[in-house]
Chains A and B, each alone.
Chain A
């Protein structure tokens, strides 16, 4: 089987930095996705990590530790438009689809 744990909700202040954690358990792991989903909208792709380490894309960075079954999404210089749900999803060996976590709803306050 497989499992993903993410915090349900987080609140952070505009201009600050926030780290959204994702821990996973699976029998065969290829890589990990992060998607952003604004309320009432479709998920959009943010990042895909397959190797250990940090990958940076502008204000967003994603980290992976395969040995610990752990990833985080780091959002810097938070803006109000970053208020959204952030979905962690694992790409599993031999599977035909991604396994999604329940998502973390981030609220950015002034």
Chain B
């Protein structure tokens, strides 16, 4: 079945450094890849997404890259700030539009 693997499970960086989270997916038919940020006790919040016809997308300090051949996609956060601390989830679309989520990465940005 469809599967999404996400690494690392935890990531600690100093304020101002960059953070990179990587995901791989199994279903070659997946064509939509969103990233969500979830703070403790809150809803998952869509922060950026990419479709399969694009290799890279950037929005201020956040960028996502996609390698369809290798079935990899990554989230890059530059100039990290303490308020970036949260759990980040990648996801890949599956038939019918449902999302298959990775296991999450707990990002901690130390001031």
Partners in one complex: no
On A, residues with C-beta under 8 Å from B are none
